[in-house]
Amino acid sequence: MKIKVGNFKVDIRTLIDIRKDGKLPRLYVHEKFEKPLKWIVRSIAIISFITIFLALDDYVVSVSIGLGLFLLSFIFDRAIVKYTTFVVQPFPDFEIDYSQWYNVMTVSQPDHKKNVNVVGFVYKDIEYGKKFFKYIKSWNFDNSVDKDRNIILSIVEEPNGAFTFYIYASPYRKNLDKMFKAVAADNFIEKRKDGKVQEGLVMQMAYWHTIKYTDDKHMRDFFKYQPTDEKFMFVPSAKYDNGYGMDIDSQIILHGYKYAKRQDLHKYSTENQLTEMAKKWKD
């Protein structure tokens, strides 16, 4: 369930959530509601105290109210107050021109270990492609080889036969965990968030483009000859009169990619969420 906060829709589970903790449920409440939570606990205690003096004649009603209040107090007493830590991915230091990326090229051979297969994003201007790939490489700490799959290339086959290519930083990359732990450690040392649990959120850029005129045979060959968990070359390229040109100096060696048909994706997958957001922006 989502609620509107200002101009944004927020999943209510990020504010109030009940999770299983062992065999019993536990309530997680954002620190924004810490004061109301304290008043709820106090109110339950007051109502329980008053109920004792009322001494309801109806035994069943009295027991039911008593048990209900006990369960409420048990849930709220065990509540965990959480705070949110945002990690914001740096934005590109150049202006994004969506018209530059207009196609994708693939080069694949049956023996992918002997012959390195290639995925190239085709740009109108190769210089723009170099800038974009330099930015993508920053998601992998400026390294050309991405063994940890910090960079996600996701290919989704649409029902009409087109392909949508998504490129984004992995939300599970190791440095994010280090950042969250560093913030939690600082809060612990300076006693800013005593007794509270950290919830980490990441704000980052993602880019995607639907290719309607990709040569289907080339794509099928790539899926056939390139395993999803093996390395391949990822490069910026441009189309010239005599063919495609690739900037090898900007190459990134990716160790795998994601592939799925649109109808097989989970409703809350990153790819579906991005596409749904794009539709809402157009509306």
- As given in the structure block, the two tokens for residue 194 are 């005593």
Q: Where are the domains of the chain?
A: 2-78, 89-171+204-282
Q: First-to-last CA distance in the chain?
A: 22
Query: Which runs of E-coded beta strand occur in the chain?
Result: 2-5, 8-11, 16-21, 24-30, 80-88, 101-107, 118-123, 145-146, 151-157, 163-169, 197-203, 206-211, 231-240, 243-246, 252-255, 258-261
Digitized pLDDT (tens) for each residue of the chain, 283 residues in all: 443 444 444 444 555 666 666 666 666 666 666 666 666 666 666 666 566 555 555 556 666 666 666 666 655 555 666 656 666 777 888 999 989 998 999 989 888 777 789 999 999 999 999 999 999 999 998 999 999 999 999 999 998 889 999 999 988 877 767 666 766 666 665 666 666 766 666 777 899 999 886 667 888 899 999 999 999 999 999 988 877 889 999 999 999 999 999 999 988 898 998 888 777 766 5
pLDDT at residue 243, rounded to an integer: 77
How far apart (Å, rounded) are the C-alpha atoms in residues 166 and 248? 21
Length of the chain, please? Answer: 283
Tokens 């449920």 belong to residue: 25
Find, among 214, 174, 204, the residue nearest to 274 by Cα.
204
29-42 CB burial, b ≥16 within 10 A, e <16? bbbeeeeebeebbe
Crossing angle, helix 34-54 and helix 59-77, to 10 degrees?
Answer: 160
pLDDT at residue 136, rounded to an integer: 94
pLDDT at residue 198, rounded to an integer: 64
Under 8 Å between Cβ of 199 and 82: yes
pLDDT at residue 228, rounded to an integer: 94
pLDDT at residue 50, rounded to an integer: 61
Find, among 270, 149, 278, 265, the residue nearest to 204 by Cα.
270
Strand partners, 129: none
Tokens 């995925």 belong to residue: 119
